[in-house]
Amino acid sequence: MTVTSTPAQTALITGASRGLGAAIARELAPTHELLLGARSADALKPILTELPEATGWPVALTDYPAVAAAAAQIPRLDVLVHNAGIADLGTVAESSVEQWRETLEVNLIAVVELTRALLPALRAANGHVVLINSGAGLRAHPGWGSYAASKFGLRAFADALRQEEPALRVTSLFPGRIDTDMQRAIVADEGREYRPEEFLTPETVAGAVRTALDTPGDGHPTEIVLRPR
């Protein structure tokens, strides 16, 4: 009797060089062939040293011709985790057109375009799209207007994609604030002491991604909300 092994699923994680993206990469490494995305090859060196079986995918996500060319090299994709994003905070009165445009470009438009470019590969695998949203995608607070708008838009995109592509599973994950370098910068801007215990760990959020992916095929985990205790 010949026993054939099932090929490992392939997962592309954006923003995988550090923080939450790197934690998701570590979580999925035992079971997935990983494509790890970041703006540059240099940014990926530490995580690729740690996970030598993974493959770097250095693409600037707002360079849409480069995104299209890189996506065309992926014939099949089981998992797409949209983790890359920015948080440029400020009140409406203090904000600028450039701030709003860049935030929406990185957090929403680039996500849409990468997904669109990878739809053939995702369809080939009946794949799973996971969008790392935010509590700001459910409610907006003072000073978070442009960021929340981008995340509200991301939720709308997920809802539309889920209905337009019924062969795919589409999960929006809404974590509270996470202990990352980005969070440290936000807290410093808020002018208060940084206390890591106030925030979710990246590993906890990565575990929620794993839970979504491991949900049996008869279930569709559409939204997961995760808050610090």
Inside any domain, residue 223:
no
Inside any domain, residue 4:
no
Question: Mean pLDDT of all residues in the chain?
Answer: 94
pLDDT at 92: 96
Inside any domain, residue 36:
yes
pLDDT at 3: 45
Inside any domain, residue 170:
yes
Instruction: Report the CATH number that the domain containing residue 149 is assigned in CATH.
Output: 3.40.50.720
Our count of domains for the chain comes to 1
* Catalytically active residues, by annotation: 147
- Encode pLDDT of 70-107 as tens digits: 999 999 999 999 999 999 999 999 999 999 999 999 99
Inside any domain, residue 1:
no
Q: What three-state secondary structure class fits 59?
A: coil
Inside any domain, residue 164:
yes
Inside any domain, residue 225:
no
Domain ranges, residue 50: 9-217
- Mean pLDDT of the 56-75 span: 98
Residue 7: pLDDT above 90?
no
Inside any domain, residue 84:
yes
